[in-house]
Structure 1
Amino acid sequence: MKIITKIALVATAITMPFMSSADVVSSSEQGFQIKIEQPYEGTADSGYQRFVNDINQWWLDDHTWFGDAEKLSIDATAWRLFLRNRR
């Protein structure tokens, strides 16, 4: 699975509790892409850090195989590589 697909799936999971509707941007036999907008008052960096480091704050325990969102983690390798290449 491509990293963009993984990021899109995680982003969808984050916004699910707040989501009232989503627009289907595209669809095919391989999958679909949706657009969800949610206001955020912080900086992009603080939002990203919260997304990566505080999974248990936005992921529901009962949406895991083991019933505990505290055990989830995100390997943000693509983001680290992106930041390293920007320098």
Structure 2
Amino acid sequence: MQSGIRRLGWHMASAIVLLLPQTVSSKVSSADATGFTIESTASVPVSPHEAYAAFVDVARWWDPVHTWSGNAANLSIDARAGGCFCETLPDGGSVQHMQVVYAAPGEQLRLVGGLGPLQEQSVAGSMTWTFAPAEGGCTIGLTYRVAGRIEGEGGAESWAAPVDFVLGSQLERLSKLLSGH
């Protein structure tokens, strides 16, 4: 009986851990008609090098809803200067989502470009991912700065919250992968 109760206790503890809020925060730190900045962080229980390695294996954690092909397995990041955050499409097609301009394995990766529908706008984007040691693992930081002319009502400011939601969701998925959830 005691071992059954103990087992039940472990199962309940495991369920509670799964229900605890993730340590991910995301916010629009600035936005106006000509641009916006998104800042997000996540605490994960792995080393910066492990987090970086999982990050560049983007097909394992990126939400397929936010791909052109509908399949995250078609995504890749060539984590070196000049490398591509790319996606293969049917019939030999491809997409360059962003280009790597700075790569320091286990520390930082910077990419430039406009994600998704921002590609067809007159904008420049810079996305920096950082991986810093922290108690119990590491902190992943994400900053995405977009500036330029975006057509439509509200300009760039109207895009800030949706982009924040998508990137925050992606960081949440990476965090869950690294946390074993």
Flag whether TM exceeds 0.5 (same fold). Answer: yes
User: RCO (CA 8 Å, sep 6+): is it higher in 1 or 2?
Assistant: 2
Q: Deviations over 1:35-85 (max 9, x none)?
A: 2221111111110110002x12211122211111111011212216xxxxx
Q: Which protein shows a greater Rg?
A: 2
1:52 is aligned to 56
Q: What TM-score, normalized by structure 1, do the two folds share?
A: 0.56
Structure with greater helix percent: 1
Question: Structure 1 residue runs of 4+, over 3 Å off?
Answer: 18-21
**Aligned counterparts, 1:1-40, within 5 A:** 22-40=26-44
Q: Structure 1's 69 and 51: CA in aligned 2 closer, same or farther, altered over 3 A?
A: same
Structure with greater strand percent: 2
Is residue 60–residue 69 contact of structure 1 (8 Å, CA) maintained in 2? yes
Which consecutive residues of structure 2, in runs of 5 or more, have no partner in the other structure?
A: 1-21, 81-101, 105-181
Q: Structure 1's 28 and 75: CA in aligned 2 closer, same or farther, altered over 3 A?
A: farther
Which consecutive residues of structure 1, in runs of 5 or more, have no partner in the other structure?
A: 1-17, 81-87
Residue 20 of structure 1: CA displacement?
6.9
2:67 is aligned to 64
CA distance in 1, matches of 2:26, 2:75: 25
Give me the identity figure in percent.
Answer: 34
2:103 is aligned to 79
